[in-house]
Amino acid sequence: MIPRIHKQGSNTRGLLNYLYGKGTREEHVDPHLVASFDGMAPDPGRDLSATKEDLQRLLDQPLHLLDPDQRPDQHVWHCSVRAARTDRILNDEEWGDIGRRIVAATGIDSGGTDDAGCRWAAVRHADDHIHIIATLVREDGRRPDHHRSGQRAQAETRLIEADYDLHRVTPGDGTAAKRPTSAERHKAERQGRERTAREELREAVRGASAGAASTDEFFDRLAADGLLIRKRIAPSGDLLGYKVALPGDRNKEDEPVFYAGSTLAPDLSLPRIRERWPLQAEAVSEDGSEPVQPALPQVTHPAFARRRAAAASWQALLIIDHGDDGMAAAQIAAAGEVLDALAKTSAAHTRAELREAAFVFERASRSHVRAVRGHDSALRQAAHDLVHSGAALGRGEDGATTAMVIDMAVFLAIAAANWHAKRHHSQQAAAAQQAAEHLRAAYQAAAAHSIAALRRRGQRMTPRIRARQADLLRKALPELAERIQAEPGWPALVSTLADARQAGHDPAALLADAARRRELGSADSISDVLVWRLRRSAHLPAAAPENLQAAGARDGWHIPTPALATPPAAQASNRSSSRH
């Protein structure tokens, strides 16, 4: 159940006209009172002898206790209370009780402590919500104490949900982006848009800021996305802020409707975005303990960018698990940038789920824990590289490395959910969990072709090789070996272990390291997770060799695969110059 305190007004009659009217789309059905301050207010909805003027005069009567120059200009208090879509339809008596509880909790009504509360009325004109209108002058002429009425209404609705067995809304902490208004939602529906203009702009601005390294780059990306931009410039010439608008979103005067960045989300104001930019030069040490120089050089191909994003995500996991709160909060915020960049640049068959993942993870990227910038530069560099390397193809090395980074992003989202849950950030934890589900769906789409090719390759290997890998698995991961061998992805892991051995690595050591550095029990497919971890840490091609050659021939580019006979020592000496 969602209560919303609307902006105070000065026109009681105007609000009553709306509440008892047909609505902007004739959606108001049977407007009528369900409760009032004295239980006897006239109801112009069902009492043919009552008028809206009668109700207005009754509500506004306390104003006349004050001299005209003492009457508040904004005396109309307005609160709407909406049930969840999945809730049962409440009757008038239940809605009336809810209205009385809300005005008592917010300080509008005295709640029985005295007889000098404000005058109010609760109007129902739809199945799922009511509106409460009140006059902000008490019967004794004093002003009510309705400070922080929004928070007080939220706390009361949590109790109402429990008492009426309704959907439990996770409590917020004041860091969420502003919800679209009902007018914005109705406008989007009329125009056939999936999301409101506010939501589309928030998504576009987050995408433009993902990995951006300067003000110019940020505004260039906004312009490239087709947004209208207004910059706020001081007399000195300094840039202070910005507003954006969708070209097709116009008001009654046919003018674009602009939104300031800070009204789209708290972290999208220009000063908050700028906090990220001076720290681009630092990367993070392998154990996540200290910033080190230099940042990763810019990449030139989507597959390379995705490998580096997977590596940066691995580092971020270590920091979220073991770093202090400020460092972890920075990693979670930067993880949102990586998801935004992936959503912009991945192939069409994964883009919808990645877009949803980025959209819902946005809520998880903010809390009252202030992010300590600097240790997040590896993820920010990854987001920058993803954007600058361009759109990825769905097959070959592009598709396989997309699966690799999404697999790591699932764990990153789960780590963020656990981190928030431990700190009782309910909304953020729920958002991160929801993002993880979208990422799992995106992974299935991204990995299907690549994992299938690796499985076929593993199935074609000799029984002697398959038996050797099974024996190696039992020694390295005795508790998980039986489960892994029963998974459909086991042949792909057989293939990967064979490739690692041929490249001069110790497969048992790789397996043990992959399992030791993070738990595997929560994975949908442990074998898939191990495939991507091993292929990344051993610098193996992400796709099966035959798919690499086919992709290269089709798309006109060549992927330099590792020399499989090169021993680890030689690989180490060449690794700094290798794109893999």
Q: Where do the domains of the chain lie?
A: 2-163, 191-274, 283-577
Q: What letter does residue 263 receive in the DSSP assignment?
A: H
According to DSSP H, which parts of 487-561 are helical?
Answer: 490-502, 507-516, 526-537, 545-555
Which of 473, 462, 523 has its CA nearest to residue 497?
473
pLDDT above 50 (res 5): yes
567: confidence class by pLDDT, cuts 50, 70, 90: very low
Residue 132 backbone phi and psi in degrees, to 5: -115, 125
According to DSSP H, which parts of 226-290 are helical?
Answer: 261-264, 270-274
Per-residue pLDDT at 112:
65
Which of 117, 160, 112, 110 has its CA nearest to residue 139?
117
Task: Give the separation between CA 145 and CA 149, rounded to whole angstroms.
Answer: 9
What do you get for the CA distance between the two ends of the chain, in Å?
51
390: confidence class by pLDDT, cuts 50, 70, 90: confident
Residue 500 backbone phi and psi in degrees, to 5: -65, -40
pLDDT above 50 (res 179): yes
Residues 6+ apart with CB under 8 A from 53: 13
Q: Which two tokens stand for residue 192?
A: 């056939």
Per-residue pLDDT at 576:
35
pLDDT above 90 (res 181): no
Q: Which two tokens stand for residue 504?
A: 């001069």
Tell which phi-psi region holds residue 26, choosing left (phi > 0), alpha (psi between -120 and 50) or beta.
left
Amino acid letter, 561 = T
Task: Give the separation between CA 426 and CA 364, rounded to whole angstroms.
Answer: 10
Q: What letter does residue 21 receive in the DSSP assignment?
A: S
Q: How far is it between the farthest Cα atoms of the chain?
A: 98
Contact 195, 246 (CB under 8 A): no
Contact 311, 536 (CB under 8 A): yes
Report the range of poorest mean pLDDT among 89-98, 176-185, 354-363.
Answer: 176-185
> If you average pLDDT over residues 19-28, what whole number do you get?
82
pLDDT above 90 (res 240): yes
Q: Which CATH number does 2-163 carry?
A: 3.30.930
- Could you count the other beta carbons within 10 Å of the beta carbon of residue 452? 16
Contact 95, 101 (CB under 8 A): no
Residues in the chain, how many?
580
The SS3 of residue 5 is strand
